Structure formats: structure tokens, C-alpha cells
A and B are shown apart, each in its own frame.
Chain A
């Protein structure tokens, strides 16, 4: 599942390349020639195993390259694939317990998802994908609270599965309730694995909330009925944005915000799109400063930044010189020269000829 998108290469390889006293690019080239997994920029590792989880969800198992580090349960990794010459990268949650050796990611096929469909349709055992190190702060406090509630909807189960596997394979002795909201019986990701875990570990109780068969959805009374002691539990939440909004609202009303951790799937949506004043086409979120600025319709992102008092570097202001190149994390931009609109996340854009079509996140 896609989580917040983050920068391309790790900082240390970047500084290596720019240090000047080591020809990092030459070294990297020959390391990659010997073995693509030895790349200093972006290692490409072989897929060892593919597991069919449900009709639209698959797990991919790989052995990370050196420099990957050790993931913490709940983190995600960047997975890159080349499609028609272009490299596309998305972040997917790790679903296996952190351990030396193999790592498993679990990917649900998105209706128009370039990368998820490519992974499902094209990637076979033995093929390589580009992997970047684990990131993310959707992790349990340490030591883990004695009473836990995990709330998952759809493919939101993936990071929680890593948490569960990690807790139950260790010395954790507390009690865990998993509330797992799925559309129907056939959408039960990790169905068999969860049933088996619950059988082996009495401390875990798994609740399947089936929307289609049982018309069961999240509500205050449904929660009260399923987990009467939920207010005493430390909660972890992951699922689609709409679902999470409802759950967070409930926790907020109960003034339990402190006891809830959550992670958004999909591209981050820092704004409500419906509260824009007249004349404002979009908000632009600046990821590095955390600032949010407004852009007018047909205004270049460069002009919008300058109007907001930022000082981005620029040159020609007509799309030639690339001085104003910036990475767009998410959101649609329109090329002011060609009119083409691009929704691609993690894309390099030229600020001077790109206008925000809707809310954007820039790596600025």
C-alpha cells in the first residue's frame, strides 16, 4: 500500500557522490554491473517468492541488500519498477516481522495503480525491483502497552500484521484485540494466517467485521459491542482515509487522541479541498518547512511560491534551463506550455511552467 512518498536516494550516498574525492558514480556503476543489489544509489533485489493473499492482494518476498538496515514493525519501504523506461516508486508497508533475512511486502491491486498493477501482472519470481530503506513512525511505543487494540480496514492490515507478528514472536505477554474491517469474506487479507495466530496465542482475539455479508461497519455502538474495554487500550489504526476520519473523530470525542496512533494510506492529503476562498485554485504544501501556501488558477508554482515570500531558485522562467526543478511529492500539475496534466507522485517538475490543478505537496 502506498504511504507518504519520500525522497529518492539516502543522504549518505548523495554526499558520497558530491564529496568530490571519490568518484562515486564510477564506483557505483561497476558495483551495479557486478550485482544490481550492490548499487549505492538504489539496490535492485530479486523477488524470491510471491504469495497470493486474496483475489486482488499479493505478498512479495525479497532479501534486502546491504545498507537496508533493520525495519521496525509498522514501517514501509520504497519499491521501484521501470515501466516503459520510466522509474515509478511507491511505498509499501512491510507485513513480515522485522528479522534478519527476508522481508515481505503486501500489495493490493489499485484500480488505476501503475505500480501495483505492474507488480501483480508483470513481476515474477526472480525479477528485480528497486528497494529503498524502511521509513515511517507508525510504530509501537517501547515497551509495548499491555492492552492493545489494532484497527484495520482493507489493506490497512499490512503494517498491523507486521506489528502482530513482531509482538507474538517475542516476549509480549499483553492482550491484543484486532478489529479487521473487510468488504467480504473473500477480501480477508491474511485470513488463514490470522486465524492460525489467534489459535496459537490466546492473548490475541481477531474480529472480522464483514461489510457485505454482515453489514457491519464502524460505529460507536458497534465498537462498544465488539470491544467494551476499548478506552483502556492503546490503539493503532490504519485504513482508507474516509474510514480513518470516522474512527479518529470518535477517539477525539472521547478525548482519547493520546491513545491512538494512525497511518494514512494513499497520497497524503493535508488539506480539506472544500474550504478554499474564491480565486484560490489550490493549496501547495511545502514538505520541508511544513508551510502551506495558496496558488491562483493558471499561476505557475514558481510565481505562487514567490508571492508567498519564498525564494526558490530560477533562471529562464520559460521551461528551458531547469534551474527551478523541484520534486513534486503528490498532486496534479498542469504544464503551462502543453496543457498536459500529470498526477504522477514523486515526479520532478519545473516550477516555472507547472500550475497546481489541485492541492499539491512539494519537496521544497
Chain B
């Protein structure tokens, strides 16, 4: 039922040559980093901050016609920019070379119920090091979705098309709790005291977020008490659904390869590069889509060069694609609708057990 992956296997020599070419591309961009990149990220920060201020103030005057939806949109866009183009990318160390304490990967705290410390571990380390390795990369289906036949089926997956709608709406909570692996505690495999200790920073962070969006700003609004929290809820929801969609387009569409642990034992740098190429998928679209996705539209380039300022990916993409083609590696890309459609297709396809018995992968 599954076609063989379109990329050909690379010999160790080819892997080394591939690594050398990608390293050279990386070096050329690193050598060119400077004023232009600093100006770009500071402009995005400014847009995000002012759009949040406009949104929050305008929400308080929700009785003015048309102002309320505009305010929600502004706040939602601000949160999207902050999470995607600023938070995610800053925490990857993309702007550490600027030596600006406000854009430091180790101290940045994002506008999200999840803590940055947690994210740096689950995302920067686990996901980016073990990308698409079944059993090591927790982002493969986020422990709740079956997106490949290699995952063992259970009847719970029958509901995955439905519960993914809820997951999308509450995505930031999923991200916040991902590393907790709450199932362990529910099943009694780990002590509850450990769960409470691990939950404490998450509760503190999310408590602040809830306080801000649903108590502090609504109370500031006075008579317009209800319009503000509802607006905040929708803005948060907008951001949740958008990030969910972009992130699910990163590694789950058709043409993306899943790896086994055995394949990646003692892998070379070239093999790691090839795995990042084959394990990621891009989205084609407008510059606006690129920026709002935090340039995760260029997931392949991001996974090859996670610490290069993301707004550089579009100009690196043609070279990466050319290298891919020369080495016979598949470069998975397509418009948003097609990529996301392909992911939703997998939700349905893998909700049911595999149609053919396939030998279990090691």
C-alpha cells in the first residue's frame, strides 16, 4: 500500500559530500549576517508589540461597530508573530549572534501557556536532533495522533479526526503539557508527587497567561467587561489553530519519510542532513504566509539550519532544492491547502488499522 520513498540511498562518500555542500551554504549565510537581519527582527518585534497594544485597547471599545473584530484580528496576528517569527526563532538561537539580551535564546520567554524552558528541551533538543525517528521524536503525532502505519494501532485512534479539532483549538496547552507525558501518572507508573513538581512551573506560567487575558485586561475594560475576554479567547484560538496547522504541515504531509532507530545509529552529519531533508516538508505561498508562519513554510531549510535567521530561508531555498535534486533527494513542497489536506487525509487513513499486514519495523 505504501510506495517506496522517492529519495535514493546515499553512500557514505555521498553523505559526506552532501554535508560539505550544505555546510558551505550555511557558512556563506553566517558570514553575511548583520545589520539587515537585526533590522528585520526588530521591525517584526515592533509590529507585534504595537499590534498587541492596538488590539488590547481597541477591544475595550468593542461597542464601536467593526472595531471589535479588527481588534481581535490585531491581537491574534500579534500573538502569531510573537510565537512563530519571534519566540520560536529566537529560542533556536537564530539571533544570539546579535548579543542582544532581549533576543537571547536562553532567556527569552514567549507569550504562550507553555514555558520556554520546556520548549527548549522538547523542541530544540528532542525534535530537532531526533527528527522523525519513531520512538524518539515525540512530535511524531504528539503521542495522540497516528500519522504512519508504523505506529501501533489501538481503537482510540478511531476518534483522531474528531479529537484533532479540539487539539487544534487548544494547541498551546498541548505544547505546554507535551513533555509531562501525563499518561504515565494516570496509569500509576510514576509517582504523583513528581507530576505535581513538574507541573508547578507550567501552572505558574499558564496562571499568568490566564490572569492577563481573562482577568487583568477585562477588569481594565470596566463596563465592556465581556467583550475583552471573549476577544482574547478568539485571538488565542486563532493563534492556536494557525500554529497547529503550520506545524502539522512540517513533517506529516505526503512525501515525508519516517525513520527507525536502527537506521540512525551512529549516523554521520551527512545522514543527519539527509534525514532532515527527507523528514520535512515546505509550504509554498506568499511572503505574508512565510512571515506569519515564522518561515516554517521553509521547514526543510529550518531543519537543515535551525539557528540561521529564518527570514533567510526563502533565499536559501533554491540552492537547497538544487542540492537535493543533484543528490536524488525528494524535496517535499506544495501549497498550504494541498499540504494540510494531505495531513488530514492521514488522520482518516491511519485512524483505522493497516489494511495489509506489514512486517513490523524494528
CB-based contact A42/B27 at 8 Å: no
- Pick the residue among B30, B98, B269 that contacts A87 (CB under 8 A): B98
Q: Closest chain B residue to A85 by CB distance?
A: B38
CB-based contact B124/A321 at 8 Å: yes
- Pick the residue among B39, B96, B125 that contacts A315 (CB under 8 A): B125
**Mask: chain A, 61-86; 1 = CB below 8 Å from B; 0 = not:** 00000000000000000000010111
Any B CB within 8 A of the CB of A348:
yes
Any B CB within 8 A of the CB of A215:
no
- Pick the residue among A28, A82, A85, A316 that contacts B37 (CB under 8 A): A85
Any B CB within 8 A of the CB of A20:
yes
CB-based contact A87/B102 at 8 Å: no
CB-based contact B212/A23 at 8 Å: yes
Bound: A315/B122 CA distance, A: 10
Residues from chain B with Cβ under 8 Å of A89 in the complex: 99
Residues from chain A with Cβ under 8 Å of B27 in the complex: 338, 340
Any A CB within 8 A of the CB of B33:
yes
- Pick the residue among B23, B49, B109, B120 that contacts A18 (CB under 8 A): B109
Q: Closest chain B residue to A316 by CB distance?
A: B129
- Chain B residues numbered 94-128 whose CB sits less than 8 Å from any CB in chain A: 96-102, 104-107, 109, 120-121, 124-126, 128
Bound: A29/B50 CA distance, A: 10
Smallest CB separation, B22 vs chain A (Å):
11
Residues from chain A with Cβ under 8 Å of B222 in the complex: none
Residues from chain A with Cβ under 8 Å of B30 in the complex: 338
Bound: A18/B106 CA distance, A: 11
- Chain A residues numbered 14-44 whose CB sits less than 8 Å from any CB in chain B: 14, 17-18, 20-21, 23, 25-26, 28-30, 41-42
Any A CB within 8 A of the CB of B307:
yes
CB-based contact B128/A86 at 8 Å: no
CB-based contact B307/A320 at 8 Å: yes
Any A CB within 8 A of the CB of B306:
yes
Any B CB within 8 A of the CB of A203:
no
Any B CB within 8 A of the CB of A323:
yes
Bound: A14/B93 CA distance, A: 18
Given A14-B107, A25-B109, A322-B92, 6 extra CB contacts under 8 A: A29-B45, A85-B35, A85-B36, A325-B105, A338-B26, A340-B27
Point out residues on B near A: beta carbons under 8 Å. 23, 26-27, 30, 33-39, 45, 49, 52-53, 91-93, 96-102, 104-107, 109, 120-121, 124-126, 128-129, 204-205, 208, 212, 269, 272, 306-307
Bound: A9/B99 CA distance, A: 11
CB-based contact B99/A320 at 8 Å: no
Smallest CB separation, B132 vs chain A (Å):
14
- Chain A residues numbered 323-341 whose CB sits less than 8 Å from any CB in chain B: 323, 325, 337-338, 340
Smallest CB separation, A31 vs chain B (Å):
12
CB-based contact B128/A321 at 8 Å: yes
Bound: A29/B42 CA distance, A: 11
CB-based contact B124/A85 at 8 Å: no
Residues from chain B with Cβ under 8 Å of A296 in the complex: none
Bound: A325/B96 CA distance, A: 10
Smallest CB separation, B121 vs chain A (Å):
7
CB-based contact A85/B98 at 8 Å: yes
User: Contacts A26-B49, A318-B129; is A20 near B208 (CB within 8 Å)?
Assistant: yes
CB-based contact A322/B49 at 8 Å: no
Bound: A313/B26 CA distance, A: 26
Smallest CB separation, A30 vs chain B (Å):
7
Smallest CB separation, A16 vs chain B (Å):
11
* CB-based closest 3 A-B pairs: A85-B38, A315-B125, A316-B129
- Pick the residue among B35, B272, B307 that contacts A322 (CB under 8 A): B307
Any B CB within 8 A of the CB of A180:
no
Residues from chain B with Cβ under 8 Å of A25 in the complex: 102, 109
Any B CB within 8 A of the CB of A358:
no
Smallest CB separation, A334 vs chain B (Å):
14
CB-based contact B99/A88 at 8 Å: yes
Residues from chain A with Cβ under 8 Å of B92 in the complex: 322
Any B CB within 8 A of the CB of A187:
no
Residues from chain B with Cβ under 8 Å of A8 in the complex: 101
Any B CB within 8 A of the CB of A354:
no
Bound: A9/B108 CA distance, A: 13
Bound: A116/B350 CA distance, A: 63
CB-based contact B97/A86 at 8 Å: yes
Bound: A340/B306 CA distance, A: 19
Smallest CB separation, B250 vs chain A (Å):
16
Residues from chain A with Cβ under 8 Å of B91 in the complex: 322
CB-based contact B128/A320 at 8 Å: yes
Q: Closest chain A residue to B45 by CB distance?
A: A29
Bound: A42/B34 CA distance, A: 20
Residues from chain B with Cβ under 8 Å of A30 in the complex: 49, 53
CB-based contact A320/B124 at 8 Å: yes
CB-based contact A84/B107 at 8 Å: no
Bound: A41/B98 CA distance, A: 15
CB-based contact B269/A318 at 8 Å: yes
Bound: A84/B269 CA distance, A: 31
Bound: A340/B31 CA distance, A: 10
CB-based contact A337/B208 at 8 Å: no
Any B CB within 8 A of the CB of A346:
yes
CB-based contact B101/A86 at 8 Å: no
CB-based contact B98/A315 at 8 Å: no
Bound: A14/B106 CA distance, A: 12
Bound: A315/B96 CA distance, A: 18
